[in-house]
Amino acid sequence: MSTAPSATAAIFDEPQTEHPLGYILDPENVPAELEPFRGRLSSNFFEVRKKIINFIREDVIPAQATAKRQRQELVRKVQESRVPAPGEDPAYARHEVWAGSPPIIAELGKKAKARGLYNFFLPEVGKLSVLEYAPICEIFGAFPLANLAMNCMAPDTGNMEVLEKYGTPEQKKQWLEPLLDGTIRSAFAMTEPGVASSDATNICSTIVREGDEYVINGHKWYISGACRPECKVFVFLGRTTGSHGEKHMSHSMILVPREAPGVTIVRPLAVFGHIHDHAEIVFDNVRVPVTNILLGEGRGFEIAQGRLGPGRIHHCMRTIGTAEQALDSIIHRVRSRKAFGKMLAHHDTVRQFVAESRIEITKSRLLNYLAAVQADDHGFKDARAYISMTKIDAPRMCLKIIDEAIQIHGAHGVSQDSQLTDMYTNIRHVRLADGPDIVHLNTIAKEEFKRKTSALGEWASGKNTNIEKYGKFQHVAPVAAAKL
């Protein structure tokens, strides 16, 4: 009998060079794509990354089962006894989106504070550049419970940054301090169902001053995080001047308490048919003090650009972490399943996709790091083309890998026993969050068209000299320059 190792044995005998919990939790090694930027990485980055990894390994991972159990109990109470609020669609009154956060989140928050990791997204806490924050966000993409425990979750991070940068001392005292302490949460009320909100100048909710108050009227939807009971305040974007004003100076941001009279959360909204914590909200003659305005009338877009730039990069950073998870799921599956006479890992088509997935992740990560460097060196506004590139690329890349992971897992991949369907739904939504792909493609094209035509481009394009030679097109009017 031959003593040669079988194909099955050979696949498991291949050297396992990564950390037992995966590369993403290897405290000694960072992504190879960071090597070109190593000179930009501070000693603080390496220390902080290890602290976060240790926190996840020692506190977050052991708490995951408890968090799930507590969540199920909170959902059960909602399903048994919750009464719909006035104006709310009763069909969704006892859906799980109304359940609060598991108590273990607060306990993990205390542990994060003890480790100096709470509110880590703030530069004065993490003391990281945008580039250095990128690989940290990848970890959050793979371990969202850590995101919650460290108070680093959207949309609160963007709202806290807005309040930190633009809020008055009184606004900070009332809203920023409890947000930073994790005792309340918030939402960003921008998108509207009746207009194309991807062009923010279309936003038509109104903010009208009457004496010492602003009166707010509008209809918003897909307001993330608004259903959860911890949400206590909205950062609301609306129009404060007539439509004849300069279009980018016609909108303002204002703070609206969730419990203010006239605020009605109509229903939670679905993503791909599954209800999520995205709310449809009507604001009917809601009155708030004039002191709730942020920065001043007409400054809404100025604030929005400062808010959305970091958020777009963070979405992409977390998406890359999810892509790594999806690829890991493929590796796990193909090492444990046999079809057509050999392990899946020995099929050429499977190996091809694994290789292509690694190539795509590598390219996407490098583009993301480049966008982060541009933001560090030139600011988010001047880095907008690079941010748009990674905002388009990262979700597309990740979705492709998740989709193939589902294919490789077969029926299991779409079952409730796999995380892949939830991952797909979440990442598909990222292609719309903070602007759909087409808006970002337009941003990139505009930056390209700002460049003058080069002699090299004219030479490569070429010219048919016979047009002038035979003169048969002299009656054709010259082409005017295109308006961008």
Note the pLDDT tens digit of each residue in 295-353: 999 999 989 876 766 778 888 988 998 999 999 999 999 999 999 999 999 999 999 99
Count of residues making up the chain = 484
The pLDDT of residue 247 is above 80: no
Domains of the chain: 32-153 (1.10.540.10), 186-298 (2.40.110.10), 303-447 (1.20.140.10)
What pLDDT, on a 0 to 100 scale, did the predictor assign at position 21?
A: 57
Band (110; pLDDT cuts 50, 70, 90) = very high
What pTM does this model have?
A: 0.85
Q: How sure is the predictor about 1, in pLDDT bands with cuts at 50, 70 and 90?
A: very low
How much is the pLDDT for 18? 47
pLDDT of 315 reads 85
Q: What is the pLDDT of residues 398-445, one digit of tens each?
A: 999 999 999 999 999 999 999 999 999 999 989 988 889 999 999 999
Contact status, residue 285 vs residue 217, Cβ threshold 8 Å:
yes
Q: So what's the pLDDT on residue 138?
A: 87
The pLDDT of residue 320: 93
Q: Is the pLDDT of residue 5 over 60?
A: no
What would you report as the CA-atom Rg of the chain, rounded to the nearest whole angstrom? 26
Enumerate residues 6+ apart whose C-beta is below 8 A from 187.
155, 159, 223, 224, 225, 226, 231, 233, 234, 235, 258, 279
* Cα-based angle 160, 324, 437 (whole degrees, multiple of 5): 60
Arithmetic mean of pLDDT, 202-206: 95
Arithmetic mean of pLDDT, 368-395: 94
Question: Residue 109 and residue 117: Cα distance in Å, rounded?
Answer: 9
Q: Which residues pair with 217 in a beta bridge?
A: 206
Mean pLDDT in residue range 103-113: 96
User: Mean of the pLDDT values across residues 441-461?
Assistant: 92
- Residue 391's pLDDT band (boundaries 50, 70, 90)? very high
Distances (CA, A) of 240 to 159, 245, 290: 20, 10, 12
- Pairwise CA distance, residues 173 & 301, whole Å: 24
pLDDT at residue 42, as a whole number: 95
Q: Which residues lie below 8 Å from residue 256, measured CB to CB, with a gap of 6+?
A: 189, 216, 233, 234, 236, 263, 283, 286, 288, 292
pLDDT at 73: 97
Mean pLDDT in the chain?
Answer: 90
pLDDT at 480: 64
User: Tens digits of per-residue pLDDT, 38-83?
Assistant: 999 999 999 999 999 999 999 999 999 999 999 999 999 999 999 9
Q: Say if residues 176 and 208 touch (Cβ distance below 8 Å).
A: no
The listed range with the strongest mean pLDDT (9-23, 148-162, 173-187) is 173-187
User: Rounded to 5 degrees, what are φ and ψ at 208?
Assistant: -115, 130
pLDDT beyond 90 at 137: no
Half-sphere exposure of 78 (CA within 13 A, CB side): 20
Choose between 92 and 13: higher pLDDT.
92
What pLDDT was estimated at residue 15? 39
CA atoms of 369 and 139, how far apart (whole Å): 15
Asked if 74 contacts 102 with a C-beta cutoff of 8 angstroms, the reply is yes
Local structure of 207: helix, strand or coil: strand
